[in-house]
Amino acid sequence: MSKTAVLFAGQGAQTVGMGRDLAAAFPTARALFDRADAVLAHDLTRVCFDGPEAELTRTENAQPGIYLVSWVALTLLRERVPGFEFQATAGLSLGEFTALAAAGVWSFEDGLKLVRARGQYMQEACESTRGGMAAILGLDEAATREVCAATGVTLANLNCPGQIVISGDADRIPAAVEAAKARGAKRAVSLPVAGAYHSPLMASAQPKLAAALAAVTSHAPGVPVIANVTAQPHGALDTIADTLVQQVTSSVRWEESIRYLLAQGFTRFIELGPGTALTGFLKRIDKTATVLNVADVASLEATVAQLSAA
């Protein structure tokens, strides 16, 4: 029997209108949007459905918005496929919080409040620093690390073969981009982001996030949750918060995380939430894996059909 892992997207997956058709089609989804608005005392539904894009893109809106749409996707999949189970979960950056909620570490409401707070703290860090990021395509990890060392920036995301993201002081990113091109990168381009995520410039968010995590009741995960920082399952319950705090300034080891799951015999992966970035990464990592996704009504129906047939 195939082993299934569910995957949750990170910041950048947001798009105006996300979740709208799911809420229109399914009362369960609509109820979750209403619940989120009540929990946050904030009209997150309006921001997700109608934007404007600049408002949705703000870290304190994008993070809870993506979390919410991802949770809606998981809830609807469970509703439509009775007995649906997964044997592990992982999420990219913000998505790691969604993965932990999916594994039962904390409630939907507590997870939502955590990612809203995390987004606020990271937005504050962005506004108090001058950070930037760049995507490096077609250059291996060793060469990219040399570029980072030479230009004083940080390796932020190891997404898949041929796609790495770097992060650091905005004044240093252009030099890093040129250095990557000189080393043979097929493409190196600055990204339109608010700050230097997963770099030391985010350090001011860490003590605030630690305090927020300490205030939440947590439970041992019901299935393995792969940590971005280690590319291994989270360990003892009392270490989860420390790992999440460390994640704010550490590299996201996504390719390694997926390779760990593949080595454990996972053959089916389901991306839940807006966008299909993780699906794209997975196809670059292992073309033989089965990859499904739920982002809207059409992809939900397609995934339900495939799971039901299996």
Q: Which residues are catalytic?
A: 93, 198
Q: Which of 145, 162, 167 is nearest to 280 (CA)?
A: 162
- Cβ pair 29, 76 in contact under 8 A: yes
Q: Which of 9, 73, 6 is nearest to 276 (CA)?
A: 9
Q: Which of 32, 30, 11, 46 is nearest to 156 (CA)?
A: 11
As a whole number of angstroms, the distance between CA 55 and CA 62 comes to: 8
Could you list the beta-strand ranges (E) of the chain.
3-8, 88-91, 131-137, 154-160, 163-169, 187-191, 225-226, 266-272, 290-294
Token pair, residue 28, equals 């369960």
As beta bridge partners, residue 271 has 7, 293
